Protein backbone atom coordinates (compact mmCIF):
# COMPACT_ATOMS: atom_id res chain seq x y z
CA UNK A 1 0.00 0.00 0.00
CA UNK A 2 1.21 3.50 -0.82
CA UNK A 3 2.04 5.56 2.29
CA UNK A 4 -0.98 7.87 2.87
CA UNK A 5 1.33 10.59 4.20
CA UNK A 6 3.20 10.62 0.89
CA UNK A 7 -0.09 11.20 -0.92
CA UNK A 8 -1.03 13.98 1.51
CA UNK A 9 2.34 15.66 0.93
CA UNK A 10 1.82 15.54 -2.84
CA UNK A 11 -1.66 17.03 -2.44
CA UNK A 12 -0.23 19.86 -0.33
CA UNK A 13 2.51 20.62 -2.87
CA UNK A 14 -0.02 20.49 -5.72
CA UNK A 15 -2.20 23.07 -3.95
CA UNK A 16 0.87 25.21 -3.19
CA UNK A 17 2.12 25.22 -6.79
CA UNK A 18 -1.33 26.09 -8.14
CA UNK A 19 -1.54 28.99 -5.68
CA UNK A 20 1.91 30.23 -6.74
CA UNK A 21 1.04 30.02 -10.44
CA UNK A 22 -2.02 32.17 -9.80
CA UNK A 23 0.04 35.01 -8.33
CA UNK A 24 0.49 37.98 -10.72
CA UNK A 25 4.21 38.34 -9.93
CA UNK A 26 4.79 34.72 -10.93
CA UNK A 27 2.65 34.96 -14.07
CA UNK A 28 4.91 37.79 -15.35
CA UNK A 29 8.21 36.14 -14.40
CA UNK A 30 9.47 33.87 -17.24
CA UNK A 31 12.08 32.21 -15.02
CA UNK A 32 9.53 31.29 -12.34
CA UNK A 33 7.06 30.07 -14.97
CA UNK A 34 9.78 27.91 -16.54
CA UNK A 35 10.51 26.49 -13.09
CA UNK A 36 6.95 25.91 -11.87
CA UNK A 37 5.19 25.03 -15.14
CA UNK A 38 6.73 21.55 -15.59
CA UNK A 39 6.22 20.77 -11.89
CA UNK A 40 2.56 21.76 -12.13
CA UNK A 41 2.07 19.53 -15.18
CA UNK A 42 3.76 16.60 -13.44
CA UNK A 43 1.75 17.08 -10.24
CA UNK A 44 -1.50 17.31 -12.22
CA UNK A 45 -0.82 13.92 -13.81
CA UNK A 46 0.10 12.46 -10.42
CA UNK A 47 -3.00 13.87 -8.74
CA UNK A 48 -5.23 12.31 -11.39
CA UNK A 49 -3.93 8.85 -10.45
CA UNK A 50 -4.04 9.64 -6.72
CA UNK A 51 -7.71 10.60 -6.97
CA UNK A 52 -8.51 7.32 -8.75
CA UNK A 53 -6.50 5.38 -6.18
CA UNK A 54 -8.22 7.05 -3.24
CA UNK A 55 -11.65 6.50 -4.81
CA UNK A 56 -10.91 2.79 -5.26
CA UNK A 57 -9.69 2.48 -1.65
CA UNK A 58 -12.86 4.20 -0.42
CA UNK A 59 -15.00 1.90 -2.55
CA UNK A 60 -13.16 -1.12 -1.15
CA UNK A 61 -13.81 0.11 2.38
CA UNK A 62 -17.51 0.63 1.66
CA UNK A 63 -17.87 -2.81 0.08
CA UNK A 64 -16.07 -4.48 2.98
CA UNK A 65 -18.58 -2.83 5.26
CA UNK A 66 -21.47 -4.21 3.19
CA UNK A 67 -20.01 -7.71 3.18
CA UNK A 68 -19.76 -7.64 6.96
CA UNK A 69 -23.15 -6.01 7.66
CA UNK A 70 -25.40 -7.55 5.01
CA UNK A 71 -26.56 -11.09 4.41
CA UNK A 72 -27.73 -13.15 1.48
CA UNK A 73 -27.85 -11.74 -2.04
CA UNK A 74 -26.74 -8.24 -1.01
CA UNK A 75 -23.63 -9.61 0.69
CA UNK A 76 -22.89 -11.84 -2.31
CA UNK A 77 -23.13 -8.91 -4.76
CA UNK A 78 -20.90 -6.78 -2.56
CA UNK A 79 -18.35 -9.61 -2.38
CA UNK A 80 -18.31 -9.92 -6.18
CA UNK A 81 -17.76 -6.18 -6.60
CA UNK A 82 -15.07 -6.30 -3.96
CA UNK A 83 -13.14 -8.88 -5.98
CA UNK A 84 -13.12 -6.55 -8.97
CA UNK A 85 -11.97 -3.62 -6.84
CA UNK A 86 -9.17 -5.68 -5.29
CA UNK A 87 -7.90 -6.48 -8.79
CA UNK A 88 -7.63 -2.76 -9.66
CA UNK A 89 -5.53 -1.78 -6.66
CA UNK A 90 -2.16 -3.42 -7.58
CA UNK A 91 -2.17 -1.78 -11.03
CA UNK A 92 -2.92 1.65 -9.56
CA UNK A 93 -0.21 1.22 -6.92
CA UNK A 94 2.30 0.18 -9.59
CA UNK A 95 1.37 3.24 -11.68
CA UNK A 96 1.78 5.49 -8.64
CA UNK A 97 5.12 3.96 -7.72
CA UNK A 98 6.37 4.64 -11.23
CA UNK A 99 5.10 8.23 -11.18
CA UNK A 100 6.66 8.82 -7.76
CA UNK A 101 10.14 8.14 -9.09
CA UNK A 102 11.81 11.57 -9.38
CA UNK A 103 11.58 12.78 -12.98
CA UNK A 104 14.13 14.58 -15.03
CA UNK A 105 12.82 18.16 -14.82
CA UNK A 106 13.56 18.54 -18.53
CA UNK A 107 10.99 15.90 -19.54
CA UNK A 108 8.13 18.40 -19.84
CA UNK A 109 10.04 20.54 -22.37
CA UNK A 110 9.55 20.66 -26.11
CA UNK A 111 12.07 18.62 -28.09
CA UNK A 112 14.54 19.49 -30.83
CA UNK A 113 15.13 16.43 -33.01
CA UNK A 114 18.04 16.05 -35.41
CA UNK A 115 18.10 13.16 -37.91
CA UNK A 116 21.25 12.56 -39.96
CA UNK A 117 21.87 9.99 -42.67
CA UNK A 118 24.78 7.73 -41.72
CA UNK A 119 26.45 4.88 -43.59
CA UNK A 120 24.65 3.60 -46.65
CA UNK A 121 24.74 6.38 -49.23
CA UNK A 122 21.44 7.35 -50.86
CA UNK A 123 19.60 4.58 -49.01
CA UNK A 124 20.59 6.14 -45.67
CA UNK A 125 19.06 9.42 -46.80
CA UNK A 126 15.83 7.66 -47.78
CA UNK A 127 15.74 5.96 -44.38
CA UNK A 128 16.25 9.31 -42.63
CA UNK A 129 13.14 10.44 -44.50
CA UNK A 130 11.25 7.35 -43.30
CA UNK A 131 12.21 8.14 -39.70
CA UNK A 132 10.97 11.71 -40.07
CA UNK A 133 7.68 10.45 -41.52
CA UNK A 134 7.08 8.05 -38.63
CA UNK A 135 7.91 10.77 -36.08
CA UNK A 136 5.41 13.06 -37.80
CA UNK A 137 2.73 10.36 -37.45
CA UNK A 138 3.67 9.76 -33.82
CA UNK A 139 3.50 13.49 -33.13
CA UNK A 140 0.05 13.70 -34.74
CA UNK A 141 -1.20 10.91 -32.46
CA UNK A 142 0.18 12.77 -29.45
CA UNK A 143 -1.31 16.09 -30.50
CA UNK A 144 2.15 17.66 -30.82
CA UNK A 145 3.02 20.37 -33.34
CA UNK A 146 5.91 19.75 -35.74
CA UNK A 147 8.04 22.74 -36.75
CA UNK A 148 10.74 22.25 -39.38
CA UNK A 149 13.93 24.03 -38.39
CA UNK A 150 16.32 23.09 -41.20
CA UNK A 151 16.61 20.48 -43.95
CA UNK A 152 19.30 19.20 -46.28
CA UNK A 153 17.64 16.97 -48.90
CA UNK A 154 19.21 13.72 -50.04
CA UNK A 155 20.22 13.30 -53.68
CA UNK A 156 17.76 10.42 -54.20
CA UNK A 157 15.12 11.66 -51.76
CA UNK A 158 14.83 11.73 -48.02
CA UNK A 159 17.34 13.82 -46.12
CA UNK A 160 21.04 14.14 -45.51
CA UNK A 161 19.96 16.01 -42.38
CA UNK A 162 16.74 17.36 -40.96
CA UNK A 163 16.17 19.31 -37.75
CA UNK A 164 12.70 19.91 -36.35
CA UNK A 165 10.94 20.87 -33.12
CA UNK A 166 8.19 18.86 -31.46
CA UNK A 167 5.93 21.03 -29.33
CA UNK A 168 3.58 19.44 -26.85
CA UNK A 169 3.14 17.79 -23.48
CA UNK A 170 6.11 15.66 -22.37
CA UNK A 171 7.67 15.85 -25.85
CA UNK A 172 11.29 15.59 -24.69
CA UNK A 173 10.48 13.09 -21.91
CA UNK A 174 8.93 10.81 -24.52
CA UNK A 175 11.24 11.34 -27.47
CA UNK A 176 14.53 11.16 -25.56
CA UNK A 177 14.40 7.36 -25.89
CA UNK A 178 14.76 7.76 -29.67
CA UNK A 179 18.31 9.14 -29.38
CA UNK A 180 20.77 6.77 -30.98
CA UNK A 181 21.65 5.04 -34.24
CA UNK A 182 18.80 3.40 -36.14
CA UNK A 183 19.72 0.70 -38.66
CA UNK A 184 17.64 -0.47 -41.63
CA UNK A 185 17.89 -3.73 -43.57
CA UNK A 186 15.98 -3.84 -46.86
CA UNK A 187 16.31 -4.06 -50.65
CA UNK A 188 16.87 -0.51 -51.97
CA UNK A 189 14.71 0.78 -54.80
CA UNK A 190 17.88 1.20 -56.86
CA UNK A 191 19.08 -2.39 -56.30
CA UNK A 192 18.38 -4.44 -59.42
CA UNK A 193 19.73 -7.71 -57.99
CA UNK A 194 17.33 -7.76 -55.04
CA UNK A 195 20.12 -7.82 -52.46
CA UNK A 196 19.43 -6.68 -48.92
CA UNK A 197 21.28 -3.49 -48.07
CA UNK A 198 22.16 -2.25 -44.58
CA UNK A 199 22.32 1.46 -43.82
CA UNK A 200 21.87 3.72 -40.82
CA UNK A 201 20.70 7.10 -39.62
CA UNK A 202 21.36 8.79 -36.29
CA UNK A 203 18.78 10.56 -34.15
CA UNK A 204 19.63 13.15 -31.50
CA UNK A 205 16.87 14.48 -29.24
CA UNK A 206 17.54 17.64 -27.22
CA UNK A 207 15.36 19.49 -24.71
CA UNK A 208 14.46 22.86 -26.25
CA UNK A 209 16.10 25.61 -24.22
CA UNK A 210 14.42 28.88 -23.36
CA UNK A 211 16.17 32.23 -23.55
CA UNK A 212 16.31 32.33 -19.75
CA UNK A 213 18.24 29.02 -19.73
CA UNK A 214 21.19 29.99 -21.90
CA UNK A 215 22.79 33.39 -22.33
CA UNK A 216 24.39 33.82 -25.75
CA UNK A 217 26.73 36.78 -26.20
CA UNK A 218 26.72 38.47 -29.60
CA UNK A 219 30.53 38.65 -29.57
CA UNK A 220 30.66 34.85 -29.38
CA UNK A 221 28.77 34.45 -32.65
CA UNK A 222 29.97 34.47 -36.24
CA UNK A 223 26.94 34.88 -38.50
CA UNK A 224 27.15 34.26 -42.24
CA UNK A 225 24.32 34.72 -44.73
CA UNK A 226 24.13 33.10 -48.14
CA UNK A 227 21.65 32.21 -50.84
CA UNK A 228 19.36 29.26 -50.10
CA UNK A 229 19.52 26.40 -52.56
CA UNK A 230 17.47 23.28 -53.00
CA UNK A 231 18.42 19.79 -54.22
CA UNK A 232 20.52 19.78 -57.37
CA UNK A 233 21.62 23.34 -56.82
CA UNK A 234 18.28 24.83 -57.83
CA UNK A 235 17.79 28.28 -56.35
CA UNK A 236 15.04 28.55 -53.76
CA UNK A 237 15.10 32.34 -53.76
CA UNK A 238 17.20 35.17 -55.05
CA UNK A 239 18.13 36.77 -51.73
CA UNK A 240 20.76 35.91 -49.14
CA UNK A 241 18.24 34.51 -46.64
CA UNK A 242 20.06 31.37 -45.47
CA UNK A 243 21.92 31.73 -42.19
CA UNK A 244 24.94 29.96 -40.74
CA UNK A 245 25.80 30.65 -37.09
CA UNK A 246 29.10 29.57 -35.56
CA UNK A 247 29.44 29.66 -31.78
CA UNK A 248 33.12 30.50 -31.47
CA UNK A 249 33.73 29.27 -27.88
CA UNK A 250 32.45 25.76 -28.61
CA UNK A 251 32.81 25.52 -32.39
CA UNK A 252 29.15 24.53 -32.78
CA UNK A 253 27.73 25.38 -36.21
CA UNK A 254 24.02 25.69 -37.01
CA UNK A 255 22.51 26.43 -40.41
CA UNK A 256 18.96 27.28 -41.39
CA UNK A 257 17.60 28.01 -44.85
CA UNK A 258 14.01 26.74 -44.89
CA UNK A 259 12.41 30.16 -44.40
CA UNK A 260 12.44 32.89 -47.07
CA UNK A 261 13.12 35.46 -44.38
CA UNK A 262 16.70 35.88 -43.14
CA UNK A 263 15.30 37.06 -39.80
CA UNK A 264 13.19 33.89 -39.35
CA UNK A 265 16.11 31.67 -40.34
CA UNK A 266 18.33 33.42 -37.81
CA UNK A 267 15.72 32.97 -35.06
CA UNK A 268 15.38 29.25 -35.79
CA UNK A 269 19.14 28.76 -35.95
CA UNK A 270 19.53 30.50 -32.58
CA UNK A 271 16.88 28.21 -31.07
CA UNK A 272 18.77 25.12 -32.22
CA UNK A 273 22.08 26.58 -31.05
CA UNK A 274 20.59 27.47 -27.67
CA UNK A 275 19.30 23.91 -27.24
CA UNK A 276 22.66 22.40 -28.19
CA UNK A 277 24.47 24.66 -25.73
CA UNK A 278 21.91 23.80 -23.07
CA UNK A 279 22.52 20.10 -23.69
CA UNK A 280 26.27 20.62 -23.33
CA UNK A 281 25.68 22.31 -19.99
CA UNK A 282 23.41 19.47 -18.87
CA UNK A 283 26.14 17.00 -19.70
CA UNK A 284 28.70 19.03 -17.80
CA UNK A 285 26.49 19.18 -14.73
CA UNK A 286 25.74 15.46 -14.93
CA UNK A 287 29.27 14.16 -15.26
CA UNK A 288 28.21 10.52 -15.15
CA UNK A 289 26.26 11.09 -18.37
CA UNK A 290 28.83 13.34 -20.02
CA UNK A 291 29.44 10.91 -22.86
CA UNK A 292 25.83 9.72 -23.20
CA UNK A 293 24.91 11.71 -26.29
CA UNK A 294 28.17 10.98 -28.10
CA UNK A 295 27.94 7.30 -27.15
CA UNK A 296 24.35 7.07 -28.38
CA UNK A 297 24.97 8.85 -31.64
CA UNK A 298 28.54 7.87 -32.50
CA UNK A 299 29.37 8.45 -36.16
CA UNK A 300 26.24 6.89 -37.66
CA UNK A 301 28.12 3.63 -38.12
CA UNK A 302 26.02 0.49 -38.60
CA UNK A 303 27.45 -1.27 -35.54
CA UNK A 304 26.56 1.44 -32.96
CA UNK A 305 22.85 0.72 -33.13
CA UNK A 306 19.91 0.92 -30.74
CA UNK A 307 17.24 -0.35 -33.14
CA UNK A 308 17.02 -2.35 -36.38
CA UNK A 309 14.20 -2.03 -38.92
CA UNK A 310 14.14 -5.31 -40.87
CA UNK A 311 11.95 -5.04 -43.98
CA UNK A 312 12.18 -8.69 -45.22
CA UNK A 313 11.06 -10.01 -41.82
CA UNK A 314 8.57 -7.19 -41.16
CA UNK A 315 10.11 -6.64 -37.75
CA UNK A 316 11.60 -3.84 -35.68
CA UNK A 317 14.04 -4.89 -32.94
CA UNK A 318 15.04 -2.55 -30.14
CA UNK A 319 18.40 -3.78 -28.86
CA UNK A 320 17.99 -2.16 -25.44
CA UNK A 321 15.04 -4.39 -24.54
CA UNK A 322 14.58 -8.06 -23.74
CA UNK A 323 11.86 -10.66 -24.07
CA UNK A 324 8.49 -9.79 -25.58
CA UNK A 325 9.30 -6.07 -25.48
CA UNK A 326 12.23 -6.46 -27.88
CA UNK A 327 10.41 -7.06 -31.20
CA UNK A 328 7.56 -5.11 -32.80
CA UNK A 329 5.67 -5.21 -36.11
CA UNK A 330 7.39 -3.04 -38.70
CA UNK A 331 4.18 -1.68 -40.25
CA UNK A 332 2.89 -0.55 -36.86
CA UNK A 333 6.12 1.33 -36.13
CA UNK A 334 6.17 2.96 -39.57
CA UNK A 335 2.59 4.08 -38.93
CA UNK A 336 3.87 5.99 -35.89
CA UNK A 337 2.88 3.48 -33.19
CA UNK A 338 5.90 3.96 -30.93
CA UNK A 339 4.02 3.80 -27.63
CA UNK A 340 4.82 0.14 -26.99
CA UNK A 341 8.57 0.55 -27.43
CA UNK A 342 8.77 3.84 -25.55
CA UNK A 343 6.66 2.55 -22.66
CA UNK A 344 8.92 -0.52 -22.34
CA UNK A 345 12.04 1.68 -22.43
CA UNK A 346 10.54 4.03 -19.85
CA UNK A 347 9.70 1.11 -17.52
CA UNK A 348 13.23 -0.30 -17.91
CA UNK A 349 14.68 3.15 -17.23
CA UNK A 350 12.54 3.54 -14.10
CA UNK A 351 13.51 0.07 -12.87
CA UNK A 352 17.18 0.93 -13.28
CA UNK A 353 16.75 4.21 -11.42
CA UNK A 354 14.84 2.49 -8.60
CA UNK A 355 17.72 0.04 -8.29
CA UNK A 356 20.09 2.98 -8.06
CA UNK A 357 21.56 2.43 -11.49
CA–CA distance, 61 with 257 (Å, rounded to integer): 63
Residue pair 255/244 in contact (Cβ under 8 Å)? The answer is yes
Residues 6+ apart with CB under 8 A from 82: 60, 63, 64, 67
CATH of range 218-285; options 3.30.160.20, 3.40.50.12640, 3.30.70.100, 3.30.420.40: 3.30.160.20
Report the pLDDT value the prediction gives residue 199, as an integer from 0 to 100: 94
Length of the chain: 357
Helix (H) / strand (E) element for 85: namely helix 72-99
Mean pLDDT score of the chain, rounded to an integer? Answer: 86
Topology at the third CATH level for domain 4-99: Methane Monooxygenase Hydroxylase; Chain G, domain 1 (1.20.58)
Angle at CA of residue 100, ends 205 and 90, nearest 5°: 115
Reported as a single tens digit per residue, the pLDDT across 106-137 is: 888 899 999 999 988 899 999 999 999 999 99
Indicate if the pLDDT at residue 283 is higher than 60.
yes
Could you give the C-alpha distances from 57 to 4, 93, 298, in angstroms and in order? 11, 11, 49
Per-residue confidence at 354, pLDDT binned at 50, 70, 90? Answer: low
What's the whole-model pTM score? 0.68
pLDDT digits (tens, 9 = 90+) for 164-205: 999 998 899 999 999 999 999 999 876 667 788 999 999 999
Largest CA distance in the chain: 87
Report, as an integer, the average pLDDT of 132-152.
Answer: 95
Domain covering 109-208+292-354, topology: Alpha-Beta Plaits (3.30.70)
Task: Output the pLDDT for position 281.
Answer: 82
- Pairing type for strands 145-153 and 159-167 reads antiparallel
- List, by residue range, all CATH 1.20.58 domains of the chain: 4-99
- CATH 3.30.70.1660 residue ranges of the chain are 109-208+292-354
Q: What is the pLDDT of residue 213?
A: 79
- Per-residue pLDDT at 327: 94
One-letter-per-residue 3-state SS of 275-340: HHHHHHHHHHHCHHHCCHHHHHHCCCCCCCCCEEEECCCCEEEECCCCHHHCEEEHHHHHCCCCHH
Name the β-bridge partners of 212.
Answer: none
Q: 334-347 burial by CB neighbour count: b if 16+ within 10 A, else e?
A: bebbbebbbebbee
| pLDDT attached to residue 180 | 93
**What residues are paired with 307 via a beta bridge?**
182, 318
260 band by pLDDT with thresholds 50, 70 and 90: confident
In angstroms, rounded to a whole number, what is the distance separating the alpha carbons of residues 166 and 15? 30
Q: What is the pLDDT of residue 346?
A: 83
CA dist., res. 22 & res. 5, Å (int): 26
First to last CA, the chain: 25
- pLDDT-above-70 percentage for the chain: 88
User: CATH 3.30.160.20 occupies which residues in the chain?
Assistant: 218-285
Alpha carbon of 36 to those of 22, 42, 47, 85, 342: distances in Å? Answer: 11, 10, 16, 35, 26
φ, ψ of residue 22 to 5 degrees: the values are -85, -10
Amino acid sequence: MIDPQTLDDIQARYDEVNALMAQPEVATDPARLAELGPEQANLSTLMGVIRRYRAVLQEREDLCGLVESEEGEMADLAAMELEGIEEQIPALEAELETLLIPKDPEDARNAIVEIRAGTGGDEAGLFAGDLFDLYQRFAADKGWRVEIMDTSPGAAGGFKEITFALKGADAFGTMKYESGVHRVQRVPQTESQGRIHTSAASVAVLPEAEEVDVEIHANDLEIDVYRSSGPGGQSVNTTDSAVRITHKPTGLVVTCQDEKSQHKNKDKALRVLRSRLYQLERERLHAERADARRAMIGSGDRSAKIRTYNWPQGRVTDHRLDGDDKNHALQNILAGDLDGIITALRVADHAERMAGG
